[in-house]
Chains A and B, each alone.
Chain A
Amino acid sequence: MGAVYADVRFQDRRLTLVGLEARRPTGAGPGAARRETWEASRHVERGLGVRVFGARGGEGFAAAGGLGRAALAKAVSDALSGALQAEKTAASAVSGGAALGPAVVSTGRVSTPRVTDPAEVDLEGKLDILRTFQAEAFARPETSRVSLAYADSTGIDRFASTDGSDIETDSARIILRATVEAARGPYVSDSAESLGGVGGLELLAEPAVKSLAASLAGAAAEWLGAGEAPGGEMTAILDNQSTENFIHEAIGHSCEADDVLAGASVLAGKLGDQVGAPGVTVVDDPGRPGTVGRYPYDDEGVPARRVTLIEDGVLKEYLHTRRTAAAMGRPPNGHARARDFGCPPIVRMATINLEPGDFSLDQMLEGVKKGIYLMGKRGGQVDPARGVFQFRPDRARLIEGGELGRPVRAPSLSGSILDILQNIDAVGCDLRFHPGGCGKGFPAQIIPAGSGAPHVRLRRATIGGVGQASAAEAEERGPA
């Protein structure tokens, strides 16, 4: 068999991980001795991945550790063998040829901007950042535990293809994940958030680190002894991070063209349809500065570009690899991502966001007699084929009489994607971005992904709280 297309991704990256954990006995004052543990590790992520396509669309992928000629030769041989077997398999004949569409030729060397390269800062310097956070968080007397995980990844990725692409990217990515726990008597509460993106250690500048520490410590303390959230259908206002989580799960995954092509997305066949309320505009932008999902070219060498998925409630586009774009007769839009050299690229989000509207939080609260305010994000999950998603915020408050009420423990929000997109009746004006991650694929590929959103208000949201919402309480919001 002669291959009609081949590409290779070289990766030579270094990861540094630093964990710092400190506990203070319950009831001890701010100056009390803390029990502290930390650990650090360094990782070489070096290797190459080769893709080969045959004339009938058969695809082979193989990878090897290391960057030597022997590793390359073995990966090419294995990928060719895989493509050949795929071509011979009766099932592949149905796939047809021209699998990747028109040639894509990208060349150049790109270095993502950074002021302080993490590769040039030693472990003690990184530990100092964590200690700054820790000191600020323990300034709150209620703080009982601070858990911090720092990671940076620096190095070179190079892509070359038989189309003529040859791209080298020199990048750095930094994340700080923080959890602060508060304790008082029998009550324990915690709050968690991440900071970071594509760039240097300036992303973890002291003011930002201290601000996050104070914010999480304050939230953990305030939610001590929080009661149970009600359950049932009610009006929900989601803060920036909760909305990000909701948009990522409910819209982002449903717009991934591989699932759309397989008929495994409720948004399949709905291009041009009004799938959401007017005012709902969702984009995915791999070029968004500073975000953790930023990249100049995707893992097929396609220049990354901003894609408007939903505009004023109308479905405009899906996220594509070259293969899905060719299959749907669309141009590729730079959303092929692989976890690392050892995995093939698949359709992924980069940094998805809901565009801002006009509402302030106060305007959203106005007229909501009873409801719930969801804050932060712990994680979510979606089944695009069924059109069902759920996510869990970090914490929540009741809404009573148009005002934010007492803190309650965080309940999950679950819903039907097509229903809930129509139930967004207010979009806030306060767009913000946060780092996060995403898992998808067989086997699962877990990657950093950014997201951004303003506040939103949802009518008839299903909230999985332990307390039951009475019929009288449910959906009592008057005209906004």
Chain B
Amino acid sequence: MQDLVERAEQAVELARRAGADGAEAFVLDAPEDAVLLEPSGAGDFALRTANTVLHRGLGLAARWGRRVGFASTTDLSSPALAEVVNDCRRAAMPDDPALPLVPAGEAPEAPGLADKRVLEMNLPEIVGVAMTVGAEAREAGVGVLGVVATATCRRVAIVNSAGLVRSSLDTRISAGLYAMSRGGGFAMWSRTSRSLAGLLALAVGRKAAALARSSDDARDVVPGLQTVVLRPDALLSLLATSLGPALGADRVDEGTSPFAAGGASPGDGVASAILDITDDATRPGSTGSYLFDAEGTAGQATPVIRAGRLVSLLHNNHSAASLGLRRSTGNACRDRSGRMSTFVEPSGPFGYRPGILPSSLVVTSPGPTFPDLPAAGVDRGLLVQDVMGAFVIDPAVGDFSVTTTNAWALERGRPAYPVKRAMLSGNMYSLLKQVLALAEEPEDVVGPFSLVSPSWVVADLVVV
């Protein structure tokens, strides 16, 4: 870890020598081991690819008077760091956003983000994880088109000229597969955990097999207004490009959030009164947790919606400083999510200025949460596992028109039969107000941020 800290310190020092009034360096080293197995004729799996993909580089922001620049490099050699300082200065523009720096303070502590087993895993062991997952599915009686397993050890260092020095190490391991049952049912299912034991406990292969089998002999959907139950995978797909980014104070400031001036503001009802939502980066072992955010602010828990009322937005250091708040909520992220994409982009998170995203949205209810759908009063409707096409939702508007992947018609609150692809249409910010109940066990699912939520029972969604 010391090597990354030294690189960050060197970049900040070089910026200072180049006359910068302030500087902040972010260094990432997160090699991702990925294996892909495909079925072989012998009833076994063949290794199709085994790669280590590089995610390594440094991003530098520096201020010269009122000019702030940003530059990044994948080359961490000393000459390249001098080059990045020069680039940063050349990119500095007048009246660019200011560069408030996170104060040094005490280093935060959060246990459970790195698993020794994952840190020590080699390629054959990752192949072994994929084989285990594939075998689980086959033993459950379905065909497997492909199995993927990835393991990442992520090292981060952040240093700034205000004296802040932060470093962290965390792990992620994931597995996913494409299962196909004899009756034509498909399922693409994946899960991610901080630890190997956590991943294996999720029984990814068996869950995928069950999902595929339960999708056999699908029928056409009955169109119309329906009660729709959205499972956590579908919810995250929808929230990742709507509520998640819309909670960012940067978007509110830009006017690209429904919570901007003229829309809802803290205290206003923005969701059903049965919804409490907290952004929580401190849950031990959770995939959405972190020691500190992408500017070095400690991860924390921030209530954002209470009984349907918006109680707080999410901040990075810049948005907090510009609004005169005492501190950020620790939601700085370096990610392409939510940005207007040109597809000609830096190769890693180190190439992005800090934006704002949730860490882990934890959904609970001030009232009861029901163990199953009949207990929640659901009779007829549609149960949706996941959707495709949600990534084009505009967070400022929230309109969606998505296609279900695995879905079932509900009768007396239980799946009666699987349906072929159905389309769901509506507006996410209206949907938030149409939630009737929370039901089933909460799950922790991962996307641009994490979501920990039971299923949502939503009234009157348009099904096509």
Q: What is A's interface to B at a CB cutoff of 8 Å?
A: 15-17, 19, 21, 23, 37-47, 49, 58-68, 78, 82, 85-86, 88-92, 94-95, 123, 145, 147, 149-153, 173-177, 179, 188, 190, 194, 196, 231-232, 258, 261-264, 292, 339-344, 378-381, 383, 385-386, 388, 390-392, 409-412, 414, 416, 435-438, 442-443, 446-449, 462-466, 468
A146 vs B438: C-alpha distance in the bound complex, in angstroms? 40
Shortest C-beta distance, A319 to chain B (Å), equals 17
B341 near A344: Cβ-Cβ < 8 Å: no
Question: B57-83, CB under 8 A of A: which get 1 and which 0?
Answer: 100000000000111111111001001
A173 vs B77: C-alpha distance in the bound complex, in angstroms? 26
The count of A-to-B residue pairs whose CB atoms sit within 8 angstroms is 289
B346 near A43: Cβ-Cβ < 8 Å: yes
Most buried by A among B148, B188, B341, B424: B341
Shortest C-beta distance, B91 to chain A (Å), equals 5
B37 on the A face (CB < 8 A)? yes
Shortest C-beta distance, B190 to chain A (Å), equals 9
B150 near A42: Cβ-Cβ < 8 Å: no
B389 near A150: Cβ-Cβ < 8 Å: no
A443 vs B87: C-alpha distance in the bound complex, in angstroms? 29
Shortest C-beta distance, A36 to chain B (Å), equals 9
B145 on the A face (CB < 8 A)? yes
Provided the pairs A15-B346, A82-B52, A194-B342 are in contact, do residues A412 and B80 lie with their beta carbons within 8 angstroms? no
B415 on the A face (CB < 8 A)? no
A64 near B425: Cβ-Cβ < 8 Å: no
Q: Which residue of A lies closest to B350 (CB)?
A: A43
A91 near B90: Cβ-Cβ < 8 Å: no
A340 vs B72: C-alpha distance in the bound complex, in angstroms? 15
Shortest C-beta distance, B267 to chain A (Å), equals 22
A342 near B46: Cβ-Cβ < 8 Å: no
Most buried by A among B88, B145, B146, B389: B389
Question: Which one of B12-20, B120-128, B156-164 is at the A interface?
Answer: B120-128
Most buried by A among B90, B180, B344, B348: B344
A39 vs B80: C-alpha distance in the bound complex, in angstroms? 22
Most buried by B among A21, A258, A342, A383: A342
Question: B373-407, CB under 8 A of A: which get 1 and which 0?
Answer: 00000000000000011011010110101110100
A253 vs B38: C-alpha distance in the bound complex, in angstroms? 18
Checking B71, B72, B344, B392 against A379 with a beta-carbon cut-off of 8 angstroms, the contacting residue is B392
**B32 CB contacts on chain A under 8 angstroms:** 443
A95 near B51: Cβ-Cβ < 8 Å: no
Most buried by B among A60, A89, A261, A449: A89
A340 near B347: Cβ-Cβ < 8 Å: yes
Q: Which residue of B lies closest to A36 (CB)?
A: B95
Most buried by B among A38, A39, A152: A39
A95 near B145: Cβ-Cβ < 8 Å: no
B44 near A152: Cβ-Cβ < 8 Å: no
**A68 CB contacts on chain B under 8 angstroms:** 77
Provided the pairs A85-B50, A86-B47, A383-B405 are in contact, do residues A39 and B353 lie with their beta carbons within 8 angstroms? yes
Provided the pairs A342-B74, A344-B51 are in contact, do residues A390 and B97 lie with their beta carbons within 8 angstroms? no
Checking A37, A94, A145 against B97 with a beta-carbon cut-off of 8 angstroms, the contacting residue is A37
A231 near B343: Cβ-Cβ < 8 Å: no
Shortest C-beta distance, B4 to chain A (Å), equals 12
Most buried by B among A19, A43, A95, A145: A43
A40 near B224: Cβ-Cβ < 8 Å: no
**B52 CB contacts on chain A under 8 angstroms:** 61-63, 78, 82
Leading 5 A-B pairs by shortest Cβ distance = A437-B343, A464-B423, A342-B54, A412-B401, A464-B401
Interface size class of B (residues with CB under 8 A): 35 or more
**A438 CB contacts on chain B under 8 angstroms:** 343
B42 on the A face (CB < 8 A)? yes
**B96 CB contacts on chain A under 8 angstroms:** 38-40
A42 near B75: Cβ-Cβ < 8 Å: no
B269 on the A face (CB < 8 A)? no
B292 on the A face (CB < 8 A)? no
Q: Which residue of B lies closest to A190 (CB)?
A: B394
**B124 CB contacts on chain A under 8 angstroms:** 85, 88-89
Q: Which residue of B lies closest to A152 (CB)?
A: B344
Provided the pairs A44-B87, A392-B401, A464-B402 are in contact, do residues A262 and B145 lie with their beta carbons within 8 angstroms? yes
**A86 CB contacts on chain B under 8 angstroms:** 47, 50, 123
A151 near B123: Cβ-Cβ < 8 Å: no
**B91 CB contacts on chain A under 8 angstroms:** 16, 40-42, 123
**A150 CB contacts on chain B under 8 angstroms:** 342
A263 vs B186: C-alpha distance in the bound complex, in angstroms? 13
B345 near A39: Cβ-Cβ < 8 Å: no
A65 near B402: Cβ-Cβ < 8 Å: no
B50 near A262: Cβ-Cβ < 8 Å: no
**B97 CB contacts on chain A under 8 angstroms:** 37, 39
Interface residues of B in 22-53 (CB under 8 A from A): 32, 34, 36-42, 44-53
B462 near A468: Cβ-Cβ < 8 Å: yes
Provided the pairs A39-B97, A65-B56, A463-B464 are in contact, do residues A45 and B74 lie with their beta carbons within 8 angstroms? yes
**A416 CB contacts on chain B under 8 angstroms:** 421
**A17 CB contacts on chain B under 8 angstroms:** 342, 345-346
Q: Which residue of B lies closest to A14 (CB)?
A: B87
Checking B93, B389, B396 against A412 with a beta-carbon cut-off of 8 angstroms, the contacting residue is B389
Provided the pairs A379-B391, A442-B36, A464-B425 are in contact, do residues A149 and B403 lie with their beta carbons within 8 angstroms? no
> Please, could you name 21 A-B residue pairs with CB atoms under 8 Å apart, sorted by A?
A15-B351, A42-B88, A44-B73, A59-B49, A60-B51, A65-B74, A66-B80, A85-B122, A89-B47, A89-B127, A95-B46, A149-B342, A342-B55, A386-B405, A390-B388, A411-B425, A412-B389, A438-B343, A448-B344, A468-B223, A468-B462
A396 vs B247: C-alpha distance in the bound complex, in angstroms? 29
Question: B137-151, CB under 8 A of A: which get 1 and which 0?
Answer: 000000001101010
Provided the pairs A82-B50, A231-B223 are in contact, do residues A65 and B76 lie with their beta carbons within 8 angstroms? yes
B410 on the A face (CB < 8 A)? no
A465 near B343: Cβ-Cβ < 8 Å: no
A466 near B402: Cβ-Cβ < 8 Å: no
A231 near B423: Cβ-Cβ < 8 Å: yes
**B88 CB contacts on chain A under 8 angstroms:** 42
Give 13 new A-B contacts, CB below 8 A, not counting A44-B73, A45-B346, A86-B47. Answer: A43-B351, A65-B76, A78-B52, A89-B50, A231-B425, A264-B145, A342-B348, A378-B392, A380-B392, A412-B402, A437-B343, A443-B53, A464-B464
Shortest C-beta distance, A476 to chain B (Å), equals 17
**B48 CB contacts on chain A under 8 angstroms:** 95, 258, 262
A189 vs B148: C-alpha distance in the bound complex, in angstroms? 41
**A414 CB contacts on chain B under 8 angstroms:** 389, 403, 421, 423
B74 near A44: Cβ-Cβ < 8 Å: yes
Q: Which residue of B lies closest to A448 (CB)?
A: B343
A88 vs B342: C-alpha distance in the bound complex, in angstroms? 41
Shortest C-beta distance, B446 to chain A (Å), equals 13
A145 near B255: Cβ-Cβ < 8 Å: yes
**B417 CB contacts on chain A under 8 angstroms:** none
